[in-house]
Amino acid sequence: MNKSIVIIGGGIAGLTAAFRLKEAGIKVTLLEKNDRLGGVLYSYQKDGYLAELGPNSILETSPLVTELIQDIGLEKDKVYADDSSKTRYILRNKKPLPLPSSPLSFATTPLFSIMAKLRLIKEPFISAWDNQYEESLSQFVLRRLGREFLDYAINPFVAGVYAGDPDMLSVKHGFPKLYDLEQKYGGLIKGQIKGAKERKKRQEVAKQSARMFSFRHGLKMIPDRMKDLLGSDVQTNTRVKHMTKKGAVWEVHTIGSDGVEQVIPADGVLYTGRITDLQHIKIDGRIPDNVTELQQIYHPPVSVLVLGFHRDQVQHPLDGFGVLIPKVEKFQILGVLFSSTMFEQRAPKDHVTLTVFVGGVRQPKNAQKSIEDILALALKDLHTILGVKGQPTFVHHTYWKQAIPQYNVGYGKYKNILNDLEVTYQGLYFSGNYRSGISVADTIVNSEEVCERIKKINRKVRKEKSQRIQ
């Protein structure tokens, strides 16, 4: 007899797990406390505009990502980003400058000074870190690349990806591949060259080289498709109150929005919800002490403002991915994506869509302002950066109170807590953007890996039962 698994949380981690486990013949019940699936994958369409309210795209960094899209039947709906999206702009002296993408463009770019370029020559000769203490990303970059690269490459990149602060983020846990390049090969440049063969062997693609994609109707097509495939195995508007383990069986106690309670028996429980929400679920009658420590993982607030304009309202050619803004430039927004350049059908004819990010670790109070105040500060910055004039023809604001988990220095203790919980409570598993990477692709890969662990145990149990019968 196959195992049964209750999955708590209907974001991309939970959906991936539910699909893969069901595919393997394991009975799944997916519980989502909200009235919709998808978590941060949230697309909105109106008046010819398509707005992504969370992530705007997915990177094909792993064959597991590609295979999932194929297996759920969305390959025909996939759209790749326009080639122009390979150009990333960084703001310097209030002007967007393209980030160099080749040795020649690096040699000629005004984004970095001659001294910064010469400083890069020194990088291969700098010794690997001896791990006498855990470095922040800023310490790592200053040691290997210098101040300008921190200020005008890493800082804006971190603001765009993590909405975070390189002074706080751990290079070991937040950027493990960067850390491994130095530890394994002795440096970044040497690691990029020598590690290319190993990545190819694993069929992995570096994030800076991976193709970026979405779907004809936005990323919401994933949860919409998953909902159809999973059918009655999904329960929305259902909150988990507590769970207990009786022998080898878990009992998951839930309550629906209608007040109806139920008890769901299962061989295992996979928690894929927001990690800070785990404190609301009792396990065997109590909240484990180490669960309360997980509340210390900082999720800064972020506001996402999707704006539409007539094309002649924007002076910049919008020939790229977007503009990332270094902290030293002292602007109020974190960055802006050229959404309608990246993907077709994101704006009506002769119009464009810009997605603006506000708040994060850098300026959390900005994210909490009223939509009127956020729009005003965004329009002011967009006027300076892109030459935007007049009022937008489309506005959609989304406030994420707890946006992205920050893998700050010391984050290893939280990973250890999750490992310890899985050992203490056999049959309890965790997957999500707090485990081994914050991107959609990272979360899919982590969920697939957890599913393989569950399926391996299921095969072992079936084999043992078969042997006993014989």
Residue 52: is its pLDDT beyond 70?
yes
Neighbours of 43 (CB within 10 A): 21
pTM across the whole model: 0.92
Distance CA 195, CA 212 (A): 22
Averaged pLDDT, 222-226 = 97
Dist. CA 407–CA 446, nearest whole Å: 16
The mean per-residue pLDDT over the stretch 409-417 comes to: 96
Contact 244, 250 (CB under 8 A): yes
pLDDT band at 103; cut points 50, 70, 90: confident
Q: What Rg value do the Cα atoms of the chain yield, rounded? A: 23
Q: How far is CA 251 from its chain centroid?
A: 31
Q: What angle, 0 to 180 degrees and rounded to 10, lies between the N-to-C axes of helices 12-23 and 440-469?
A: 30
* Helices and strands (H, E) in the chain, number of each type: 17, 21
Which is nearest to 351 in space by CA: 315, 313, 322? 313
Distances (CA, A) of 318 to 82, 197, 337, 406: 12, 35, 9, 30
- CA 62 to CA 57: how far, in whole Å? 15
- Alpha carbon distance 294, 265 (integer Å): 26
Residue 83 half-sphere exposure toward CB, CA atoms < 13 A: 0
The predicted structure's pLDDT at residue 459: 74
pLDDT for 189 equals: 83
Q: What is the pLDDT of residues 367-379, one digit of tens each?
A: 999 999 999 999 9
Grouping H, G, I as helix, E, B as strand and the rest as coil, residue 322 is strand
pLDDT, one tens digit per residue, over 208-218 is: 678 999 999 99
Mean pLDDT, rounded, for 146-161: 95
**At residue 205, does pLDDT exceed 80?**
no
Return the pLDDT at 469: 61
Pairing of the two strands 322-324 and 43-46: unpaired
What's the pLDDT score for residue 206?
66
| Residues in CB range of 254: below 8 A, 6 or more apart | 31, 235, 238, 239, 240, 241, 261, 262, 263, 264
Helix (H, G, I), strand (E, B) or coil at 75: helix
Mean pLDDT, residues 100-128 taken together: 91
Spatial separation of the C-alpha atoms in residues 77 and 217, rounded to whole Å: 8
Residue-range domains of the chain with CATH: 4-39+220-297+408-469 (3.50.50.60), 43-60+76-84+300-400 (3.90.660.20), 112-208 (1.10.3110.10)
> What's the rounded Cα separation, in Å, for the pair 101 and 171?
23
Mean pLDDT (whole number) for 163-185: 94
Contacts of 391 (CB under 8 A, 6+ apart): 379
**Cα–Cα dist 428/3, whole Å:** 13
| Per-residue pLDDT, 457 | 81
Give burial (CB, 10 Å; 0-12/13-18/19+) of 115.
exposed
